[in-house]
Structure 1
Amino acid sequence: MLRILATDGIDKSARDELESMGHEVTEQYFEPEELKKALADYDVVVVRSATKVKAPIIDAAADAGRLKMIIRAGVGVDNIDVDYAEAKGIKVRNTPNSSSASVAELALAHMFSLARFVGISNVTMREGKWNKKNYTGVELSGKTLGLVGFGRISIELAKKATALGMKVLYTNRRGPREDFPEYGYSTLEELLRLSDFVSIHTPSLEGGKALIGMNELKLMKNTAYIINCARGGIVDEEALLQALESGDLAGAGIDVFVEEPTKNLALINHPRVSSTPHIGGSTAEAQERIGGEIVEIIKTSF
């Protein structure tokens, strides 16, 4: 019997299955200092993006000697010091296959929201304004979508964008992919210059460095839009706000922020920003699939 702690919740069907296997599942969030103590009593901890498992927490868990595995209920593991945990004898796993479609759909939703003023018109109509003449948008069909990073989420988004009549370009640190000849490969600089919409799908850079800063934003068309449903800090928030204020960029869709909950009110309240509170994987279907992957990881690991 394993004691499993889910600090950011777990799908009910996964919890029921784990308990039917004889395991004990606790759903409770702990602040970092409390988490250090709590992990002494658990074999497995399941986290989402809200819980950070860094060196001090890993040290405490390793010293206690019980924790065997950290599972990230999602794709990215940059909220976990993976190498450090593995070096301490604590395995780290994630669920890379479960939320790709959900994140891709949210990126697409932000594209529609920006292109047709869905977000801001909803706000102004609630204020009693009828700004019809201000909201002449653009169609996605015929536009070029540039994908920065070309993993599972980007591939899902590319398929959906192609169905809408968009041309898809991508750049990828490993170079062009022979298994997707239907999409065009380019350098980051070329992609930024050519794309009408740019969607970011890469892990965080070392040290929290921005991949897209002022220099990169200046390469983009002033009619272009940028979407970040990847990680906070990949796009420099200050540079992005400046580009929006100066008119160098038409708009931005943002699901992830440097600090969460974000205090960057100037950015999220900008009329050309579509913002959501890190909900890329927050669909019932994705959470059920994630739960299934967690169960499978535990079944095959213990």
Structure 2
Amino acid sequence: MKEKNHYHDSLETKNKDCSTHLLITAPTHFLDDVRDEIENKYKVTYAYGASYSQLEEVVSEIDAWIVDPGANYKIDLNILGLSKKLKILVSPSTGSDHVDLNYLNDESIIFDCLKGKEHIIKEIHASAEFSFALLIAMIRNLVPAAKYASDGFWREKEEELRGIELNAKTVGIIGYGRIGKKMARYCNAFGAKILIYDPYQEKDQDWITQVNTMDELLMVSDINTVHVHLDESTRNLIGHREFGLMKKSSYFLNTARGGVVDEEALIDALENNLIYSAAVDVISGEQEEGISSHPLIQYSKNTKKLLITPHIAGATVDSQYKAFKFALDKVDDFFNL
């Protein structure tokens, strides 16, 4: 079973005399000024870290909900069905796979998220910065190196930890949106050659080479990195066939969504040396119980070929402030506050 967040709100409701009840399950405990602003406008219940069953007890009277996209539950039909007064639900994230959008649509409940809000998300850098950091950690074996040092080993582990330079390598970027563009700039600054594949975007820099098919990119890139939204057109975008096209010396990075990659195919590619190494910040079924038994996590326990982080790409004070302010502004606009 997943552990609960170390910090959690007390589920205390403030400004009870206000008529508009706002539930906030997104983290705000480090945003004191924002909380003061909220408490001047709404009857507000802070519920970051609350369990699914605890939320079932408070959702019936809420008018609005700013959700936590990183919660260990899905905002599904069952809990939404208890929210008889709910008028608007906002997620401070670009993704929406943690919310039952079909129910919201059927019940005419307004939903919004950061997807498509380019004027806001272009100023949010956390996910791109983390993606680049994870890429460097992968090709330089930073995590096992740190573990060896803490265990008292030093240069005697050098053979296991020898990595590659990013300079002069070919980085293939699948998805040239907000994060893809920033990744291209970061990698270019380190001297890498940049290839992009995106049927909906055009290159905007002379130092980028845009290819017409994903196959072209996969076959020549030293590092393949995925930055696309998850929908039915991108589900299992990278599978057995795609891994088979990659160089055996190549590295693979996914900080988009777990469902973009056929995870069984990823394990097979690593196990059979079809690619050299991989790093992911996302896996399938993140809102499900028993995540410790997930096949990727189990596989990572006994290999240095796979580096996994717990979907923390967007987890900075700066980015979460900007994303939450977007969500709060949407709720304010809806209620004309």
Tell me the TM-score normalised to structure 1 length: 0.89
Deviations 1:146-184 (A, max 9, x none): 12222211112112112112222222242x426456532
Amino acid of the residue matched to residue 253 of structure 1?
A
- Structure 2 residue 261 is the aligned partner of structure 1 residue 235: yes
**Local SS of the residue matching 1:252:** strand
Q: Is the 8 A contact 1:256 1:277 kept in 2?
A: yes
Question: Is there any run of 5+ residues in structure 2 with no aligned partner, and where?
Answer: 1-17
Q: Distance in 2 between matches of 1:105 and 1:80?
A: 26
- Structure 2 residue 110 is the aligned partner of structure 1 residue 91: yes
**Cα separation, partners in 2 of 1:89 and 1:49, compared to 1, 3 Å:** same
- Structure 2 residue 40 is the aligned partner of structure 1 residue 15: no
Q: Distance in 1 between matches of 2:46 and 2:102?
A: 26
The Cα of 1:126 is off from its aligned counterpart by 2.7
- Structure 2 residue 147 is the aligned partner of structure 1 residue 114: no
Q: How many residues align?
A: 298
- Structure 2 residue 298 is the aligned partner of structure 1 residue 266: yes
- Structure 2 residue 199 is the aligned partner of structure 1 residue 177: no
Q: Distance in 1 between matches of 2:216 and 2:190?
A: 23
Amino acid of the residue matched to residue 36 of structure 2?
D
Q: Distance in 2 between matches of 1:59 and 1:183?
A: 48
Q: Is the 8 A contact 1:71 1:294 kept in 2?
A: yes
Amino acid of the residue matched to residue 38 of structure 1?
V
The Cα of 1:291 is off from its aligned counterpart by 2.2
Q: Distance in 2 between matches of 1:100 and 1:239?
A: 32
Pick the aligned partner of 2:59 from 27, 39, 42: 39
Q: Distance in 2 between matches of 1:180 and 1:52?
A: 40
**Local SS of the residue matching 1:49:** coil
Partner of 1:282: 315
**Cα separation, partners in 2 of 1:27 and 1:78, compared to 1, 3 Å:** same
Matches within 5 A, 1:182-261: 182-186=207-211, 187-206=213-232, 209-260=235-286, 261=291
Amino acid of the residue matched to residue 46 of structure 1?
I
Pick the aligned partner of 1:55 from 57, 60, 77: 77
**Local SS of the residue matching 1:122:** helix
Q: Distance in 1 between matches of 2:275 and 2:125?
A: 27
Identity of aligned residues (%): 28
Question: Is there any run of 5+ residues in structure 1 with no aligned partner, and where?
Answer: none
Q: Is the 8 A contact 1:209 1:234 kept in 2?
A: yes
Cα RMSD, aligned residues only: 2.4
Partner of 1:135: 161
Tell me the TM-score normalised to structure 2 length: 0.80
The Cα of 1:58 is off from its aligned counterpart by 3.2
Amino acid of the residue matched to residue 184 of structure 1?
T
**Local SS of the residue matching 1:199:** strand
**Cα separation, partners in 2 of 1:256 and 1:227, compared to 1, 3 Å:** same
Partner of 1:101: 125
The Cα of 1:254 is off from its aligned counterpart by 1.0
Q: Distance in 1 between matches of 2:203 and 2:210?
A: 10
The Cα of 1:28 is off from its aligned counterpart by 4.0
